[in-house]
Amino acid sequence: MRKLLDSLFSYRLRALLKKEFSETRHDRKLMFSMTVMPVVQLTLIGFALSAAVTNVPLAIVDDSRSPESRELVATLTESKSFRLAGYYSSVDQLGDAVSRGKADAGMVVPYDYARNLARDRQTTIQFLLNATNANTATISRGYAESVIQRFNTGLRNQGIHIRIQPNAGSDFARRGQVQLQPAFLYNPGLVDSWFIVTGVLGLLLILDSSLICSAAMVREREAGTLEQLLMSPASSSEIIVAKIMPLFLLLFLMMLGSIGVLKLAFRVPFHGNIFLLLMGGALCILSGISIGTVIATFSKSAQQAQLLCFFVNPPLSALSGALNPVEAMPKWLQPFTVLNPIHHFATIARGATLKGSGAMELWPSFLGLLLITLALGSLSVWRFRKQLS
């Protein structure tokens, strides 16, 4: 056993580890950016990026000016989805308000609204939506439809029945109605931030580990001490392992801190096995480190490495499914997510926390992460060796 340990952690490796650990420990800026920054970023992003559609400003043109129309307006604006942005006297003014951004929705109640209802006739109200943001428009349209549907049911219960049935089949009276009963699993309160923060955790792990690792790898080359290391009896894999170890431990600590933020600030439920999450995180950090190592082998200075990160990171984060569902991407881009460690980690993080999935469901993501790490790791070792010779 001792022999095995000795061969694993040879004297050389231990000496190298000692050097790297003390170098890392003394880098105040690095320590700061590893501990404080991720927590700040996670909190900012989690709170600032929210897809929730609430309090959509609704402008009203009420040509009916009746108690009935005011009741409709009140029903809409009392819901959390819409808030009253103001009354306008004509459709033109309302259109103007919407294009100036004073309101994002508008409702026009026709002058014969109350009269039609009193006479059991169908009326049509017009509902305008600013659709520049497709997502908000779709969701607020859903809100408007469901509020008005409920309002209709209320009217029917009050005894208003429309006499002319537009689509009445011969046996319509005998047909039942389909009642769709939606059930929201894993997140019945529909908390938006849970999806974002579980995705951003992976995003931060990959971005920070690749950035920090590439900087650490390049530093020796910049300072010209790489040659000295190579002259030492240590093998190149020992050098790499010793370089990676302290970074890995630091990043792992950072991940633990971020998981704490997830739990305490955002109250993400942990239904699954925390061990799975930690294992996925460890693999994710390793793949981030290997991305950083590959970047480092392509650059001569810390500045070049950072510039290269600018080329690699945006596509990685855009094609990850961390902030938006993969199904929302164009079809031809979707297969690329398989190559993205952030995507796999996001699946693991959401599975292990929100969904309570086990290893049975999550093994494909673990396999994906492992393969990416191995492929990038061997690429960087190969590039590193080639540069040395």
Partner 1 sequence: MRRIAAQARKELTQIVRDWRTMALALALPVFLLVLMSNALSLTVNELPIVVQDFDGSTASNDFIDAFRASITLHVVSWPVDKTAEAALASNAARAVLIIPFHFGRDMARGINAPVQFMVDASDANTAKLVSAYASQITSAYAQQVGGAQAAPILTAIRLWFNPGLSSTKFFAPGIFVLAISMFPPLLAALAMAKEGEQKTILQVYVSSISAHEFLLGKIIAFMAVALAECLVMSLLLFTSFGLSFAGDPTPALIATVLYVFCVAAFGTMIGAIIPNQAAAMQAVAFGGFLLVYLFTGLIFPIENIPAGLRWISDLVWGRYYIEIVRDALLQGGGWAAMWFKVLIIGVIGAIFYTSAWLGMRRMQVKA
Q: Which is nearer to partner 1, 149 or 236 (CB)?
A: 149
The backbone region for 159, taken as left when phi is positive above 0, alpha when psi lies in -120 to 50, beta otherwise, is left
Query: Using CB atoms within 10 A of its CB, is residue 145 exposed (0-12), middle (13-18) or buried (19+)?
Result: exposed
Give the Cα separation of 330 and 16 in Å (integer). 47
DSSP state of 66: S
CB of residue 34 to partner 1, shortest distance in Å: 13
Q: Closest CB to partner 1 among 112 and 381?
A: 112
Least distance from partner 1 to the Cβ atom of residue 190, Å: 4
CB-nearer residue toward partner 1: 137 or 379? 137
Residues linked to residue 108 through DSSP beta bridges, in sequence order: 61, 126
| 3-class state of residue 83 by DSSP | strand
- The nearest distance, CB 184 to partner 1, in angstroms, is 4
Tell me whether residue 12 or residue 83 sits nearer to partner 1 (CB atom): 83
Distance CA 108, CA 131 (A): 17
Q: For 354, which DSSP code? A: I
Q: How far is the CB of 296 from partner 1 (least distance, A)?
A: 14
Q: Least distance from C-beta 2 to partner 1, angstroms?
A: 44
Measure CA 329 to chain center.
14
- Least CB distance from residue 383 to partner 1, whole Å? 18
Strand partners, 83: 57
Nearer to partner 1 among residue 46 and residue 377 (C-beta): 46
The span from the CA of 90 to the CA of 61, in Å, is 6
**Smallest separation (angstroms) from partner 1 to the CB of 9:** 33
Q: Which is nearer to partner 1, 129 or 296 (CB)?
A: 129
Q: Which is nearer to partner 1, 61 or 239 (CB)?
A: 61
Rounded to whole angstroms, how far apart are CA atoms 216 and 15? 18
Cα angle 352-353-358, degrees, rounded to a multiple of 5? 25
How many residues would you count in the chain?
389
Q: Which of 16/218 has CB closer to partner 1?
A: 218
Could you give the maximum distance between any two Cα atoms of the chain, in Å? 97
Number of other CB atoms surrounding residue 297 within 10 Å = 21
Closest approach, Cβ 59 to partner 1, in A, equals 12
CB-neighbour burial class of residue 379 (10 A; exposed 0-12, middle 13-18, buried 19+): middle
